[in-house]
Amino acid sequence: MEFRSHMDTALSEARASASRGEVPVGAVVVAPDGRVVAAAGNRTREMADPTAHAEILALRAACIAAGSERLPGHSLYVTLEPCPMCAAAISFARIARLYYGAADPKSGGVAQGPRIFSHPQCHHVPDIYDGLSAAPAEALLRAFFAKRRP
Ligand SMILES: [Zn+2]
């Protein structure tokens, strides 16, 4: 099957997050046949839930759709490098491929910080592709945080 990036969908979820006053991060889960089965943006403030990151919400919705807590063969697209919590959830869900946009030196858990997937206690490691549409993802985050600074 020809590769088709779903980062544009993730970016529109990120933009929708920003318009709700949430940190602009968006995530999309794609089934093995190429169907988008879930898309979500951050809702931590709205849901008063520190775990309501875009990746977690997208994984939950995709698992409900699949009727399974595991999503073998699925891909996850996210505009920002996943945090340690989301990286662990991606591993638990057996996501096959992780595509992410901007690097997150402050809170990332994949290429920096805890590097969740590099530990022997991490029992499933997805194929990882970083830097996809990183520039627009970074621009969204920069604009969001610039506006919030007094
Ligand atoms: Zn996260």
Number of structural domains found in the chain: 1
The per-residue pLDDT for 150 is 65
Taking the chain, what is the end-to-end CA distance rounded to the nearest angstrom? 48
| 143, part of any domain | no
CA of 83 relative to ligand 1 center, distance in Å: 4
The answer to whether residue 142 is domain-embedded is no
Q: Which residues are annotated as a binding site?
A: 53, 83, 86
DSSP for 13-31, written as a single string: HHHHHHHTTS---EEEEE-
CATH of the domain at 108: 3.40.140.10
Looking at residue 24, what is its pLDDT? 98
> Which residues span the domain enclosing 17?
6-135
The closest of 115, 129, 113 to 77, measured between CA atoms, is 129
pLDDT tens figures, 95-125: 999 999 999 999 999 999 999 999 999 999 9
pLDDT per residue as tens digits for the range 59-74: 999 999 999 999 999 9
55, part of any domain: yes
- 62 assigned to some structural domain: yes
Class of residue 15 by CB neighbours under 10 A (exposed 0-12, middle 13-18, buried 19+): middle
Residue 69 annotated in active site: no
The answer to whether residue 145 is domain-embedded is no
Edge-first strand order for the sheet with 75-80 is 36-41, 26-30, 75-80, 97-102, 127-129
d(CA 39, CA 115): 25
Eight-state DSSP code of residue 117: G
Residue 149 has pLDDT above 80, yes or no: no
**Is the Cβ–Cβ distance between 76 and 35 less than 8 Å?**
no
Ligand 1 center–CA 121 separation, angstroms? 19
Q: Which residues surround ligand 1, an ion (CB under 5 A)?
A: 53, 83, 86
Distance 3 CA to ligand 1 centre (A): 25
What is this structure's pTM?
0.95
